[in-house]
Chains A and B, each alone.
Chain A
Amino acid sequence: MTTISTEHYKNKAKEAIKDDVLQSALAGLQNRLGPATAAMYKNLPEGDELRYKAHEVRMFALDNLDMLLEQLAQKIRQRGGNVFFARDQKEAVNYCLEITRRRKAKLAVKGKSMVSEEIGLNDALIKDGVKAVETDLGEYIVQLAGEHPSHIIAPAIHKTRNQIGSLFEEKLGISYTNDPPTLTKAARKHLRDAFLTADIGFSGCNLACAETGHITTLSNEGNIRLATTLPKVHVAIMGMERIVASLEDHDALFRLLSRGAAAQNLAGYVSYIGGPALDSEIDGPEEFHLVILDNGRSKILADEEFKEILCCIRCAACLNVCPVYGKIGGHSYGCTYTGPIGAVLTPLMTDIGQSKDLFQGESLCGACQDNCPVNINLPRMLLALRAKTAEGDPRWNIKPSSPVEKFIFSIWSKLISNRKAYDFFFRLARFGQKILPTKNGEIRKLPPPFSGWTLDRDMQQIASKSFIQKWKETQK
């Protein structure tokens, strides 16, 4: 997998906050897409009801996942396609490499796919002597820069056109320009050559439908259609949860996906793919493979508390409204899936203890759920993860992670259980605050563990009498 470095969250976040270019890019993204997506939901004939229905549709699919996947696999095999169930990223990557080796592939083109990021496919291909070219413009930019996507849908959102101009000048040998159409044309020229000469095409999968036995891909650049029809081999990789039962269910999600992802009614290019080209068809690959990836998803599926996270259709709508993502950007998370969805999914797929900053470093504002096309209760699961680190859970191999905090809350528990003890504590605090540096009645510096508060903020002093104390006095 892409190296997980979630333990650097705090430091990377600090750097990101100081990066003015990134800050303006993130503000632009959120101001544009956040309200636009909300307006799209509002204008649906069904309103929010469609989001609630989509949630049910997704939960139904999860409850019947084994049967639905079998149905999908059977239909694809009947059409001459190959289906491989990969337990983990290693199995998925090895399966892909077996194909490239057998086909003696030298050049692979890729449609944008976060699941391929999840399994680290690019690095594996390159290491095996296959040149892998990303064909989504944003992904292409990120790949040229030697970076990873910082947003699920807008991978190069952290880059300005000036930076892209310099990057293209260096890597593509064109003269510097920051004109988007000129830059796009330059990328297009390079990518067109790759499409026409590639031996193999890789793609992800936005949705799959069991009833019809097909996968669906969406793009706005047409690159996925080219990557999946021009080369002789097409390998699609899908997370095992990304399936629905019927075409009717598919329709509900389909309408929501583009709205959540890009505030569009529908993406510019939509492909339904169910296997290799038939003998009667001129276009399409002669070989088709569908890799269905588990990689930790079964474990999540088996936990009633977290199963809901598998409803996600990776539209990134939650990133576009999250106040935390809006300040720290995708790279601070140190993992493939970022923003609120990543803050829940990454710990569950990797290690809850190691990536605790992801779910603790969220303000629990709830904007993510409001903007989620399938109404996933992300705040509930952020809290459930916090409960795992606070109290431990052997099923997830996690022990209570902060003995100091646990101790503080155990004292707090005693204090709030007894008003007299509570009053005594605040009497001490009232006395203690007198020695703290103060200006105009505001405390300038609090002691640990509260010192974080006064790093950039003042703190109003505790009042000379509590409300309850005053109340008691007036009742006498």
Chain B
Amino acid sequence: MNRNKSVTLFIQCLVDQIYPEVGDAMVAVFQKLGISVNCPTEQTCCGQSAYNSGYKSVSKTAAKRFIEIFEKSEVIVCPSGSCVDMVRNHYPSLFRNEPDWHSRAENVGGKTYEFTEYLVDVLKVEDFGASFKEKLTYHDSCHLLRNIGVKDQPRKLISKVAGAELVEMGNSDKCCGFGGTFSIKYPQISTAILDEKLDNIMSSGATTVVGCDVGCLMNIQGRLSRKKLPIKTMHIAQLLVQ
């Protein structure tokens, strides 16, 4: 049924370099659906870290390059809410005084989807036949939730995983303290926020934290590891191929 469909992978830089297994899982999910996958190998980084630090000219360079690489694609799918937010919402605003680039940015932004958003809202598939016998809790990433509006989609996907029990943590929509360079520049504040997230995770009784953004998951995992807490983190794409 999906024979004519194809998706182009927009691989977040953190996934590319640190968590390539998340990309592998995403490919496996699409293959299961019979959707052909392509991936521009010249892609690098969407420029979000520069943008969030105020370096607009650097992020413009990244944005132009991204647009040139991806604008011919039919559908672009990314395993990160904040990167989709960058492309969909911030690229057009970067070029608000450059009409040509602005319309190209809007065109690319309009066909760029976050992974779970694409599965649930566009493909309308929720059950991937995955099985994972654990208690899971889901962390809502800030930009995914507030700027992309994805809240129910990952929960629907988790609910269809055989054996998995979704237990909501308290304040699942509260920031984990990552905030990109914020976590490096203001580590004590970042950790204080993160510890509250960890408390909420622990109180939920879950053994695995599932999320849609490896930035947040890397942050949570880093603290869990430092505190030697026996809880795992997992990107939702990885859960769907279990």
Residues in chain A within 8 A of chain B (CB atoms): 10, 13-14, 17, 27, 323-324, 326-328, 360-367, 369-370, 383, 385-391, 405-406, 409-410, 412-413, 415-417, 419, 422, 426, 440, 442, 449-463, 465-468, 470-472
Question: Could you say which residues of chain A place their CB within 8 Å of the CB of B175?
Answer: 323, 363, 365, 367
A364 near B43 with CB under 8 A, answer no
State whether A419 and B187 are in contact (beta carbons under 8 Å apart), knowing that A362-B182, A458-B226, A467-B23 are contacts in the complex: no
Question: Could you say which residues of chain B place their CB within 8 Å of the CB of A417?
Answer: 44, 61-62, 65
A383 near B51 with CB under 8 A, answer yes
A362 near B221 with CB under 8 A, answer no
B41 near A412 with CB under 8 A, answer no
Stretch at the interface among B12-20, B102-110, B118-126, B151-159: B12-20
Question: Could you say which residues of chain A place their CB within 8 Å of the CB of B191?
Answer: 455-457
Interface residues of B in 82-115 (CB under 8 A from A): none
Could you list 26 A-B pairs, sorted by A, with CB under 8 Å? A10-B188, A17-B192, A323-B174, A326-B196, A360-B185, A363-B178, A364-B182, A365-B142, A366-B143, A367-B174, A367-B175, A370-B146, A387-B56, A390-B55, A391-B55, A409-B50, A412-B49, A416-B47, A416-B62, A442-B225, A450-B184, A457-B225, A460-B18, A463-B18, A468-B43, A472-B41
B20 near A391 with CB under 8 A, answer no
State whether A457 and B16 are in contact (beta carbons under 8 Å apart), knowing that A363-B190, A364-B142 are contacts in the complex: no
A169 vs B196: C-alpha distance when bound (angstroms): 35
Question: Could you say which residues of chain A place their CB within 8 Å of the CB of B180?
Answer: 364
A416 near B54 with CB under 8 A, answer no
Give the number of residues in B that approach A within 8 Å (Cβ atoms). 62
State whether A422 and B44 are in contact (beta carbons under 8 Å apart), knowing that A13-B188, A366-B142, A471-B39 are contacts in the complex: yes
A471 near B41 with CB under 8 A, answer yes
A470 vs B41: C-alpha distance when bound (angstroms): 10
A389 near B54 with CB under 8 A, answer yes
User: Closest approach, in angstroms, between the C-beta of B223 and any C-beta of chain A?
Assistant: 5
A324 vs B225: C-alpha distance when bound (angstroms): 23
Known pairs A365-B174, A416-B45; list 16 more (Cβ under 8 Å): A10-B188, A362-B179, A363-B142, A365-B146, A366-B146, A367-B142, A390-B54, A390-B55, A391-B54, A412-B50, A415-B44, A422-B44, A450-B184, A463-B18, A466-B20, A468-B41
Residues in chain B within 8 A of chain A (CB atoms): 11, 15-21, 23-24, 39, 41-45, 47, 49-58, 61-62, 65, 142-143, 146-147, 173-175, 177-180, 182-194, 196, 218-219, 221-223, 225-226
State whether A462 and B18 are in contact (beta carbons under 8 Å apart), knowing that A410-B58, A412-B50, A416-B45 are contacts in the complex: yes
State whether A460 and B218 are in contact (beta carbons under 8 Å apart), knowing that A426-B17, A467-B23 are contacts in the complex: yes
A412 vs B62: C-alpha distance when bound (angstroms): 10
A327 near B58 with CB under 8 A, answer no
Question: Could you say which residues of chain A place their CB within 8 Å of the CB of B17?
Answer: 426, 462-463, 466-467
A308 vs B186: C-alpha distance when bound (angstroms): 27
Which A-chain residue is minimally distant from B221 (CB atoms)?
A: A460
User: Closest approach, in angstroms, between the C-beta of A156 and any C-beta of chain B?
Assistant: 22
Question: Could you say which residues of chain A place their CB within 8 Å of the CB of B146?
Answer: 365-367, 369-370
Question: Could you say which residues of chain A place their CB within 8 Å of the CB of B16?
Answer: 466-468
User: Closest approach, in angstroms, between the C-beta of A461 and any C-beta of chain B?
Assistant: 8
User: Closest approach, in angstroms, between the C-beta of A29 and any C-beta of chain B?
Assistant: 14
Question: Could you say which residues of chain A place their CB within 8 Å of the CB of B54?
Answer: 383, 385-391
User: Closest approach, in angstroms, between the C-beta of B163 and any C-beta of chain A?
Assistant: 27
Q: Give which listed residue, A385, A460, A463, contacts B222 with CB less than 8 A.
A: A460
A361 near B189 with CB under 8 A, answer yes
Main SS of chain B's interface residues?
A: helix
User: Closest approach, in angstroms, between the C-beta of B189 and any C-beta of chain A?
Assistant: 5
Question: Could you say which residues of chain A place their CB within 8 Å of the CB of B53?
Answer: 386, 390, 405, 409
Question: Could you say which residues of chain A place their CB within 8 Å of the CB of B143?
Answer: 366
User: Closest approach, in angstroms, between the C-beta of A447 and any C-beta of chain B?
Assistant: 12
B179 near A363 with CB under 8 A, answer yes
B193 near A327 with CB under 8 A, answer yes
User: Closest approach, in angstroms, between the C-beta of B219 and any C-beta of chain A?
Assistant: 7
A465 vs B175: C-alpha distance when bound (angstroms): 31
State whether A453 and B55 are in contact (beta carbons under 8 Å apart), knowing that A363-B190, A365-B175, A458-B222 are contacts in the complex: no
Q: Give which listed residue, A365, A370, A412, A419, contacts B43 with CB less than 8 A.
A: A419
A442 vs B190: C-alpha distance when bound (angstroms): 19
A366 vs B85: C-alpha distance when bound (angstroms): 12
A10 near B226 with CB under 8 A, answer no
A459 vs B220: C-alpha distance when bound (angstroms): 10
Which B-chain residue is minimally distant from A324 (CB atoms)?
A: B189
User: Closest approach, in angstroms, between the C-beta of B47 and any C-beta of chain A?
Assistant: 7
A21 vs B134: C-alpha distance when bound (angstroms): 37
Q: Give which listed residue, B20, B44, B189, B190, contacts A419 with CB less than 8 A.
A: B44
A154 vs B24: C-alpha distance when bound (angstroms): 50
State whether A413 and B58 are in contact (beta carbons under 8 Å apart), knowing that A440-B225, A457-B226 are contacts in the complex: yes
A452 near B222 with CB under 8 A, answer no
B44 near A458 with CB under 8 A, answer no
User: Closest approach, in angstroms, between the C-beta of B122 and any C-beta of chain A?
Assistant: 23
A255 vs B189: C-alpha distance when bound (angstroms): 34
